Structures are given as structure tokens and as C-alpha cells.
Structure 1
Amino acid sequence: MTELAQTYLGNSIEDANLAEQIEQARNSGRFLEVCISQTDSYKGRIYAHTTSGVTVGIVKSRNWSLRDGDVLETEQGQLLLVHLQQQKVMVLYFTEPVSDYAIKLVHLGHVLGNHHWPIIVQDRQLYVELAIDAQVIESTIREFQIPGLQIDYELRSPFDHLDFSPQAHHHHDQ
């Protein structure tokens, strides 16, 4: 049987009272815990399995994303604690000046956008969300043959993740 969670209670990292409720629920057996990807955290409907193997469906508005430590209540009155997995992202940076390659860079941005591969420009680096297999994205980027363009990868913690969603704010309206 699938537990359905759609009532948002708050974030246990930010709310000490809620953290205490989590501990009480854990001790009384009214507690579930789930670890989801940061990509799934944006979705309106999330199907996952808890750490104890229970199937859970999370239903929420798409205009906000789940964060590490968020707590929802299931229809059966259990508290569901959400954890976010580390986020692996592709990092593009340049070891040479790129001013002579502006047109190629615009074209690269256009191609990434056409494939709907989310990007963020931050601190002179371009971060690409691994929406599909990294090798496919990497191959597409290498086809541009831009001198000095380097491709690397980073693991970002849930507390230092990059929010690629178009709705990067956290309103909890249902």
C-alpha cells in the first residue's frame, strides 16, 4: 500500500519544534524517511521508497521545490522526513581567453537550451545539470571545439546545491 503525503508541515532544520515532533514520531513508529534526488524535488508528483521500504507518493505544487529537512504528513498521520541526495553537476570553465569564440559560445548556449539541459552561470563557470547521461552532454559540448574549454564534475551537497528550477523560490502553497 502506498502512503500519500501532501500536507507540508515545515522544515525540521529551521524549526526546532518540528524537529522535536520528528523525534517523537520516530520513537512512536509514526515516522517515515525518504531520500530523493534534487531533480525530483521540483516535481509536483514524486513516487519513491522510504528507507524502510514503504512506497510513498508525494503530491505538491510545482511552484516550489522540496528542501533537505522538509516534513510532510501522510494521509495515515505519519511524518515523512525528506532528505536530498548529493547533486552531481558538470562544470565548464576556460583556461584561455574566449573573446575570439563568442559566436561559438552563443551557439553552444543555444544548443544546450534547445536540448533543455539546464545551466547556471556562476563565478566565471558554467554549471550544467546532468538531466541525461553525462557522456551525451559532454560529447555535444566537445563538438564545438572551443580552445581552453575544460569539462569537469562536482558533487554538491543538498546545502550547497545549484537550483536549476525555473521556480527557484520556496512558496509552500498547495
Structure 2
Amino acid sequence: MTELAEIYLGNLAENATLSERIEKARQSEGFLEVDITEVDSRKGRIYARSNSGIDVGIVKSRDWLLREGDVLETAQGKLVLIHLRSQKVLVITFSEKISNFPIKLIHLGHVLGNHHWPIIVQDNKIYVELITDAEVVESTIRDFHIPGLQLEYELRSPHEHLSFSQHSEHHHHS
């Protein structure tokens, strides 16, 4: 049977009484922990399997993101603690002056946008969220043959997650 969680209670980092409720729930089988991806954290409907093997369906509004430490309550009164998995991102850097080939760069940006691959530009690096197969993204970028373009992967912990969503606001509004 799938547990359905629709009631948002808050975040452990911001609510001390939730920690006490979690501790009590841990001792009484009324507690579930789920690991989800950054991509899933945005969805309105999330299907996950708890660490104890119980299926959990999470239903929420799409206008806010689930965060590490968020707590929801199921229809049966069980508490669900959310953990975000580490996030693998593709990082594009350039070893040469990129002003030498603006047309190729504009074309690259156009193609990334056409594929709807979320990007963030930060500190002269382009971070690409891997919402599709990494090899596909990598070969698409390499096809541009931009001199000095370098690709590497970074693993970001849940506390260093890049928020690629157009909804950077992740607080729940009731």
C-alpha cells in the first residue's frame, strides 16, 4: 500500500518542534524517510520508496520546491522526512578567450535552450542540469568544436544544490 503525503509541516532546520515529533515517530513506526532528486523536488506528484521499503506518494503544488529536511504528513498520520540526493551537474569552462567565437557560443546557447536543458551561468562557468542522459548532453556540446571548451562533472551535496528552477522561491505558501 502506498502512503500518501499531502500535508506540509515545515523544515527541520527551521522548526525545533518538528525534530521532537520526528524522534517520537522514529520510535513508533510512524516515520518514513525518502531520498529524492532535485528534478523530483519540483514536481507536483512525486513517487518515492522510503528507506524502509514503503511506497510514498507526495502531492504538492508545483510552485514550491521540496528541500533537504522538509517534513510532510501522510493521510495515516505518518511523518515523511525528505532527503535530497547529491546532484550531478555538467560544468562548461573555457580556457581561451570566448570573445573569439561569439557566433558559436550564441548557437550553443540556442541549442541548450531548444533542448530545455536548464543552465546557470556563475563565475565564468556554465552549469548544465542533467535532466537527460549525460552522454547526449556532452556530445551535443562537443559537436560545436569550440576551441578551449572544457567539460567536467561536479557532484553537489544537498546543501550546495544549484537551483535551476525558474521558481527560485522554495518556501511553502499556505
TM-score (norm 2): 0.98
Letter in 2 for 1:118: P
- Segments of 5+ residues of structure 1 without an aligned counterpart are none
User: 1:63 touches 1:171 (CA, 8 Å); kept in 2?
Assistant: no
The corresponding residue for 1:115 is 115
The question of whether the paired residues in 2 share the 8 Å contact of 1:38 and 1:85 is answered with yes
Q: Aligned equivalents of 1:131 and 1:100: distance in 2?
A: 30
Q: Is the 8 A contact 1:92 1:151 kept in 2?
A: yes
Structure 1 residues 80-123: Cα deviation after superposition (integer angstroms, max 9, x where no partner): 00000000000000111110111111110010000011100011
Once the two structures are TM-superposed, the CA of residue 156 in structure 1 deviates from its matched residue by 0.1
CA separation in 1, counterparts of 2:96 and 2:114? 26
Shift of residue 29 of structure 1? 1.6
Aligned-residue RMSD, C-alpha? 0.8
Alignment of structure 1 residues 141-156 onto 2, 5 Å: 141-156=141-156
Q: Map 1:92-111; keep pairs closer than 5 Å.
A: 92-111=92-111
State the Cα distance separating 1:15 from its structure 2 match. 1.5
**Moved runs in structure 1, 4+ residues, more than 2 A?**
none
Q: CA deviation at 1:168?
A: 1.4
Asked if structure 2 preserves the Cα contact closer than 8 Å seen for 1:33 and 1:50, the reply is: yes
Q: Deviations over 1:104-152 (max 9, x none)?
A: 1111001000001110001110000011111111101011111010000
- Give the structure 1 partner of residue 172 of structure 2: 172
In the alignment, is residue 35 of structure 1 matched against residue 35 of structure 2? yes
Tell me how far 1:14 sits from its aligned partner.
Answer: 2.1
Q: In the comparison of the two structures, how many residue pairs are matched?
A: 174
Query: Is residue 2:26 matched to residue 1:26?
Result: yes
Indicate conservation of the 8 Å contact 1:42/1:65, yes or no. yes
Corresponding residue SS for 1:39: helix
Structure 2: unaligned runs, 5 residues or longer: none
Paired amino acid for 1:19: S
Q: Which residue is 2:59 aligned to?
A: 59
Q: CA deviation at 1:13?
A: 2.0
TM-score, scaled relative to structure 1: 0.98
Q: Secondary structure at the match of 1:165?
A: coil
User: Within 5 Å, which residues of 2 pair with 1:71-110?
Assistant: 71-110=71-110
